[in-house]
Structure 1
Amino acid sequence: MYSKMKKEAAAAAVVSQNGSLNGSQNGLSHSMAALGLDSAESAKAALPDPTADENGGEENDVKVDIKRGMDTATFRRVGKQMVDYVADYLENIGDRPVLPNVQPGYLRDLLPGAAPERPEDFEKVMEDVESKIMPGITHWNHPNFHAYYPSLNSYPSILGDLLSSAIGCPAATELEVIVCDWMVKAMDLPSHFLSTSETGGAVIHGTATESTLTCMLAARERAIKDWLKEHPESGYFDAFSRLVCYSTDQTHSMIVRNASFIGIEIRRPASAGRPNFAKSKGICPSCGRGQGQGTNSLLRMSERIWLHIDAAYAGAFLFCPEYRPLMRGIEYADSFNFNPHKMMHVNFDCSALFLRCVEDLFDGLKEDLLSGLKLMKIFKEQGIPDYRHWEIPLGRRFRALKIWFVLRSMGLQGLRKSLRHHVQMADHFAERMGADPEFEVLTKSLGLVTFRVKDTDAVNALLYNLICDDGRIHLNAAETGNPPTYYLRFVCTSHAEQKDVDFAFDVIKSLTARLRSRRLSLSEVQAEREKMLNNLAQQRRITSTG
């Protein structure tokens, strides 16, 4: 307490000496004398040294490169070690358990409660990565990971991210334009998505959620503009209140979240007949997403609605000509997006958005300085977009570089080979399931197979719980329909070989035999269902990709 009072008096003395405080000089002198401070100079001496840390060390004694965090020689050494660590991790990932065997909150007890004051050796950091971080990791690229759509990476993409981080340039706009045009041509997308088209273009965002939210904002403003043209007596908020976004029960939950963000009512089309689009100004089919098959055939709509296609997973399969019929009707879409970070071997995060009319996007994001028309004119005249007007964040990453690295390192032939292998492994799993009288295959779409035991929902829930408790493989479960049907989902990762698919089937088969020997009471059925819901919630916490 005395030390604290002495420092406060010293600070007051310094402030008074500098003329920044008008107080009683006599009273201040009396207080200083009581604390053993005979002058302002001694008061200054009593102030804490701003270069000293709380443990008594001096910042001047800290050996750290304040420009880059470590010296170049150390970076070269530990950088090579990191490359080896990453290569060993990916090469031997199958030796690790696919799921963590820890409880949520485990890490807090293993790490200090505050950041270190003094630098630590990077070797010590990496020791903690292996001993403390890795035990809590769900390994998405594990050959026994079959729960969600893959989040693939590759060595070329990792190197692209490394170089992008070093360059630190947020724009690199020209490469992004070129790479997006490459993908339009390679996937045989409509030519109006090309940057050289009259009105269209493309941009790389972080996630499909971001791309979809951007398009919903654009659709909202275009719909309001159209309404006010037809009803000039109406106001902006009257038009706003009339907006509706239609979606299906297979559409990703991000659509519901985004609609709530921008204040638009969301509805599902009627179960029978054609939906009433009298008020609708937007619809978002899911292509290759959702709990079950989730792949829609797109039909032309005569109404002026915004048609956005969310093909986060399935979009990459358009690189293969045989899968392009899945996108029949894409020529009517106002916007289309897919995630290269799912099936294109481009590590997270990376979502490509293609637009029929970029001006609508500019209007949706409401640039204050320039109108959408002026921005569109500048883009088409110069051929180089200002991408900060194409997205919600003003800052952005150089994501095009890792796509460019992957396309050049794998080539389109290598990419198609990987996609086809993914489907072939899922076909093999579906064949084994279909040939076994114990199971029924509900759907098979690209790399996703949905199946169930030929029994009650309670038995299927119990099987899912047994799989979670067993821990040798990781898959997911879902309920859809009215009344709901409970089933299990198997997604084949591109890292899985036939032996891995056979292993997964054998695990499921053996656990099914185990549950057949159990007789469940009603209370046990309810308990198993509650456990299933808890397992699903737990998986969402530990496997979220954001």
Structure 2
Amino acid sequence: MDWQDFGKWGRRAADWARDYHANLRDRPVRARTAPGHVLDRLPAAPPDAPEAMETILADFETVLMPGMTHWQHPRFFAYFPANAAPVSVLAEFYVSAIAAQCMLWQTSPAATELETRVTDWMRQAVGLPEGYIGVIQDSASTATLCAVLTMREKALEWRGNRTGLSGEPALRIYCSAEVHSSVDRAIWIAGIGEENLVRIPTRGPWRSMDPDALRDAIATDRAAGHLPAGVIACTGGTSVGGSDRLDEVLAVACDEGLMSHVDAAWAGSAMICPEFHDYWSGIELADSVVFNPHKWLGAQFDCTVHYLRSPEDLVRTLALQPEYLKTHGADGIVNYSEWSVPLGRRFRALKLWFLIRAHGLDGLRGMIRNHVAWSQALAARIAATDDFEIVTEPMLSLFSFRYAPKGATDLDALNLSLVTAINDDGRIYLTQTRVDGKLAIRFQAGAFTTTEADVVTAYDVITEMATRL
């Protein structure tokens, strides 16, 4: 294919995308293929001769599409949303066509300066105070790794990158059990070690870190000769929305001189609605904050916004400047590759710019408010239904429940059977978790095209499948 042909096939792809989304409700949410089915239909060796686009697209439809789970489906209630608003997809079309590497200011000045502007737009939108500086990372996992690496370097007075961790005291990072597994990975990759990730007990309905227990753990570690390095808090944990009371937890970090990072990957997007700022109280004490516009706001993956009070600490941790990466003759510029682990950087700011301008913050707020209201109404309806119980109350649009008919002896097995039956049915998609060791079923509303009727359908499917059991 050359660029002359691209116009024809690009128009066809746009029409396909329009039709795909127009008929998405007619598809089962989750793929129904058995393991290995797609692989067995793919040739074991690559072709030597070029193949026609018609043939390639036919195989795309018949071989690959039946094996896709539809994350943009309006009844995708599993995990968290991974939205792709149409205007964001359009922006990615332009990004792919330009195909720029935006690692340095000089390699695409507009990409760098737009990133500076839209991250500040988002800072204002979610209510972070002035002084926080943003960068767009690929994912919250990377942002958390960047924060942990900076915690390590600050605690070691910037010698870790140079001399390594051998001979140093054990670095200690503190969090609750509600944080995402990306925290564990960051601890591994940073060389700190899983045994030095200290889990602080939680308390209250928010499942927040106990600040007194946190303070005691830090004191105990110092007395044992360990080196406390940082505190990782969360707002809207993946399992059931566990949220630390930031004003309490971050105050301890400040008092103890430890760097803090807040993972609000999902729930941070909801902070564009001022009425949800109770979950954000104390955020101004954080050194590092991350949330994902590619979840609830509709920016196509990948698009994570990472805010720092002292970006110079992150740059000091990550920046390398060989001669071939220096920009001569320009002062005061930002090279965002020095703010992230990879050198190469996509033009991620464009889709956020398109999205905010096309929908406006009011449009995005309306969507999030609807999702929260519909989810809370569903939780109340399930709570009022015989043989069901709410395990964790709604945190924004996320709650968990359990099917608990009288006389049932193994509720874990029963609820696993229920979530399996629901997903095999195909009309909706849910996932399970464990709360205090017991299995529960998660529900969250967040797909860009979800309607109130879709949430009502969820109730119908849940109760129907339960009666069949």
TM range (shorter): 0.7 to 0.9
- Partner SS for 1:340: coil
Corresponding letter in the other structure for 2:259: W
Percent of pairs with identical residues: 37
Q: Are 1:337 and 2:290 an aligned pair?
A: yes
Could you tell me which amino acid in structure 1 is paired with residue 403 of structure 2?
V
Give the drift of 1:366: 5.2
Q: Report the counterpart of residue 397 of structure 1 in structure 2.
A: 346
Aligned to 1:122: 53
Give me the whole-angstrom Cα distance separating, in 2, the residues matched to 1:382 and 1:140.
44
Task: List 4+ stretches of structure 1 deviating above 6 A.
Answer: none
- Tell me whether 1:81 sits opposite 2:36 in the alignment: no
Q: In the alignment, is the contact (CA less than 8 A) between 1:313 and 1:339 conserved in 2?
A: yes
Give the drift of 1:468.
3.4
Q: 478, 487, 499: which one pairs with 2:440?
A: 487
Give, in whole Å, the separation in 2 of the partners of 1:462 and 1:101: 17
Which is worse superposed, 161-170 or 275-284? 275-284
Give the secondary-structure state (helix, strand or coil) at the position aligned to 1:462: helix
Aligned to 2:257: 304
Distance verdict in 2 for CA 1:128–1:227, change over 3 Å: closer
Which amino acid letter does the alignment assign opposite residue 83 of structure 2? Answer: L
> Which amino acid in 1 is paired with 2:74?
P
The residue aligned with 1:242 is 170
Distance (whole Å) between structure 1 residues aligned to residue 93 and residue 321 of structure 2: 35
Aligned partner of residue 179 in structure 2, secondary structure: coil
Aligned partners of 2:34, 2:355: CA distance in 1, in Å?
A: 37
Matched, 1:320 2:259: no
Provide, for residues 363-384 of structure 1, a one-character-per-residue CA deviation record: whole Å limited to 9, x for no partner.
Answer: 22253669xxxx9xx9xx9553
**Counterpart amino acid of 2:114?**
L
2:423 paired with 1:500: no
Structure 2 CA distance for aligned equivalents of residues 87 and 488 of structure 1: 33
Aligned equivalent of 1:210, options 126, 138, 142: 142
In the other structure, the counterpart of 1:435 is 384
The structure 1 residue matched to 2:42, chosen from 106, 111, 128, is 111
Q: Which residue is equivalent to 1:285? A: 233
Matches within 5 A, 1:5-20: none
Moved more, 262-271 or 129-138: 262-271
Q: Answer with 492-501 or 180-189: which moved more.
A: 492-501
Shift in alpha-carbon separation, 1:99–1:238, aligned structure 2, 3 A: closer
Letter in 2 for 1:457: D
What amino acid maps onto 1:350 in structure 2? C
Aligned equivalents of 2:349 and 2:175: distance in 1? 31
Which residue of structure 1 aligns with residue 408 of structure 2? none
Maintained 8 Å contact 1:251/1:285: yes
Query: For the structure 1 residues 383 and 340, does the alpha-carbon distance in structure 2 shift closer, same or farther, using more than 3 Å as the test?
Result: farther
Counterpart code for 1:248? S
Q: Which deviations, in whole Å up to 9, do the C-alpha atoms of 1:432-452 show, x marking residues without a partner?
A: 112213211122111112111
The question of 1:165 aligning with 2:96 is answered yes
- Tell me if structure 1 keeps the 8 A contact 2:287–2:309: yes
Structure 2 Cα separation of the partners of residues 236 and 123 of structure 1? 54
- RMSD across aligned positions (CA): 2.2
Q: Aligned to 1:212, what secondary structure does the other structure show?
A: helix
Tell me the equivalent position of 1:414. 363
Q: Paired residues, what number? A: 423
The superposition leaves residues 314-352 of structure 1 with CA deviations (integer Å, 9 ceiling, x where unpaired) of: 011111111122111111111001111001110111111
Preserved CA contact (<8 Å) 1:250 1:290: yes
- Structure exhibiting the larger radius of gyration computed from Cα positions: 1
Name the residue aligned to 1:191. Answer: 130
TM-score of the superposition, structure 1-length normalised? 0.74
Q: Which residue does 1:425 correspond to in 2?
A: 374
Which residue of structure 2 aligns with residue 451 of structure 1? 401
Judge conservation of contact 1:215–1:308 (CA < 8 Å) in 2.
yes
Q: Is the 8 A contact 2:144 2:263 kept in 1?
A: yes
Task: Write the letter of the residue equivalent to 2:454.
Answer: D
Unmatched runs of 5 consecutive residues or more in structure 1: 1-68, 194-200, 229-234, 516-546
Which secondary structure does the structure 2 equivalent of 1:316 belong to?
Answer: helix
Shift of the alpha carbon at 1:108? 2.2
Point out the more displaced range, 361-370 or 444-453: 361-370
Q: CA deviation at 1:121?
A: 2.3
- Seen in structure 2, the aligned counterparts of structure 1 residues 511 and 280 have a Cα distance that, compared at 3 Å, is same
SS at match of 2:63: helix
For 2:14, the aligned partner's letter is: V
SS at match of 1:393: coil
- State the AA in 2 paired with 1:449: F
Given residue 242 of structure 2, which amino acid in structure 1 is its aligned partner? G
| Separation (CA, whole Å) in 1 of partners of 2:389 and 2:334 | 51
The 10-residue stretch of structure 1 (170-179 or 122-131) with the greater mean CA deviation from structure 2: 122-131
The one-letter amino acid of 1:287's match is T
Name the counterpart of 1:527: none
1:253 is matched with which residue?
A: 181
Q: 1:383 and 1:447, CA in 2 relative to 1: closer, same or farther beyond 3 A? A: farther
Deviates more, 1:308-317 or 1:451-460: 451-460
Cα distance per residue 1:191-249 (max 9 Å; x no partner):
111xxxxxxx2111111111110111111000111899xxxxxx974774331111111
- 1:124-156: per-residue Cα shift (whole Å, max 9, x none)? 222111111100000011122211110011111
Given that residues 428 and 498 in structure 1 are in contact (C-alpha distance below 8 angstroms), is that contact kept between their aligned partners in structure 2? no
TM-score calculated relative to the size of structure 2: 0.85
- Distance across 2 between alignment mates of 1:419 and 1:115: 45
Counterpart-to-counterpart distance in 2, 1:423 and 1:184: 22
* Aligned counterparts of 1:423 and 1:240: Cα–Cα separation in 2: 47
Residue 284 (structure 2) pairs with residue 356 (structure 1): no
| Kept after mapping to 2: 8 A contact 1:227/1:239 | no
Q: CA deviation at 1:310?
A: 0.7
- Give, in angstroms, the shift of residue 288 of structure 1: 1.1
1 CA distance for matches of 2:74 and 2:401? Answer: 20
Contact 1:224 1:239 in 2 (8 A): no
Once the two structures are TM-superposed, the CA of residue 85 in structure 1 deviates from its matched residue by 0.4
User: Does structure 1 conserve the Cα–Cα contact (< 8 Å) formed by 2:134 and 2:308?
Assistant: yes
Letter in 2 for 1:414: G
- In the alignment, does 2:65 pair up with 1:134? yes
Q: Unpaired segments of 5 or more residues in structure 2?
A: 103-110, 203-209, 406-410
Deviations 1:145-173 (A, max 9, x none): 21111001111111111111112222220
